[in-house]
Structure 1
């Protein structure tokens, strides 16, 4: 295992060990390469049978099942004790861009239903401003019939580029979300006020949800390239706490 992969695993384990409430019953499990280790860690706990785990999409559903955890549904369990997820980018105020895997609506639904959201990622997701390193654009889930209208509206809001996300070699045509919608990727460059931009986009007719997650994250655990763990959050969000992984 490489240093970065080892650090991702340790960051995920530490995130679970430090934040999982002792009497937790309902846990949200997101997606991403680091969240794999979150599910693994929860699956190692002796009291894992007391948890009901809520997925944010197909990948996280499989993570829950593969680690011997009990799968539940958010319509049956709308109040979560905690949620763990990944991120495509994190700024110094703990705002996020999510949706690279096209699960942004369900990810935000689970995050908004949880008492606290803990993010685990690797160091490449760190930035001062959203859009600084994540150049693919803000993922936006839209109703299929509205996508051309929404594209034009996004350009009027200042988007430099808006792409209808394609399925790639495995699929002819656009990506279809778990909710049977399209995904647009809108590049606004560096985003100085993500909350305001989210509200502007969300107000467009045909938009289901945006991949801008603001004022919702409690802590972020990063695996660093040298094998250490960085923690953003707590009372001073911009400060970084470095912990040696050995």
Structure 2
């Protein structure tokens, strides 16, 4: 294992533990983001060294590219039709395993893939746990046509919501608007605190021009939290169980060297 920061160790520990849930022959949704990238690398190592046979359904073009690089067979969701599980990261997760996702810009495909799965496992470092969602800006994917009008409608809708902030900003990629894999834009809502996530999600998705929002409610089944010292906590909301463990970091050369960025 290369010389990792505590944060990278936490992400790797969560990803490594989550990879142990994957069994031969499974169809697995592959998330997007830095923690999910560790997971893809772990699965690639299992494919190469243990002969694991799985089919991966990526949630973004960059995840698909990484999966192919490490030897994971990739197909589309239409080809797979239904998945055994999806493993993905999160920007925030509360005590009920509700999430904010979309910091990496892939929330639409991530939500479609997650809901087409028998089980969703979320991997995260301990810093992503919060009492109440909302400190992380809530991403809302909108179509480019009339996005400024959509932004105004979103801001007006927020007036009646239980939130502390109401600023909405268009996500940029340099000097141009950020464009998702589906060709859409993203509004980041700086809400600070979301008092009623369920109500907010319903209201946002009724606004013309809004494609989907980054609130993932009642979707996550298992949360795997990694710590910088290698400790891992696995919480299963359906079983009502919490499991503690530890991953030993070994000084070995492996697939993970090139993922550090």
Asked whether the 8 Å contact 1:64–1:71 carries over to 2, the reply is yes
Answer with 37-46 or 203-212: which moved more. 37-46
**1:148-163 alignment, distance < 5 Å:** 148-158=148-158, 160-163=166-169
Q: 1:77 to 1:236 in 2, by over 3 A?
A: closer
Shift of 1:226: 3.7
What is residue 232 of structure 2 aligned with on the other side? 229
Shift of 1:24: 3.8
User: C-alpha distance in 1, partners of 2:99/2:78?
Assistant: 25
TM-score (norm 1): 0.89
Q: Given the alignment, which residue of 104, 109, 114 partners 2:107? A: 104
- Structure 1 residue 76 corresponds to structure 2 residue 79: yes
Q: Given the alignment, which residue of 233, 243, 246 partners 2:245? A: 243
Shift of 1:96: 0.7
Asked whether the 8 Å contact 1:143–1:208 carries over to 2, the reply is yes
> Which runs of 4 or more aligned residues in structure 1 lie more than 4 Å from their structure 2 counterparts after TM superposition?
none
Q: Given the alignment, which residue of 51, 63, 66 partners 1:47? A: 51
What is residue 172 of structure 2 aligned with on the other side? 166
- Structure 1 residue 195 corresponds to structure 2 residue 198: yes
**1:75-224 alignment, distance < 5 Å:** 75-132=78-135, 134=136, 137-158=137-158, 160-168=166-174, 172-224=175-227
CA displacement 1:15-40 (0-9 Å, x = unmatched): 121x22x3543111011212122112
Shift of 1:146: 2.7
TM-score (norm 2): 0.84
Q: Give unpaired runs (5+ residues) of structure 1.
A: none
What is residue 38 of structure 1 aligned with on the other side? 39
Q: Give unpaired runs (5+ residues) of structure 2.
A: 159-164, 249-261
Secondary structure of the 1:6 match is helix
Asked whether the 8 Å contact 2:15–2:35 carries over to 1, the reply is yes
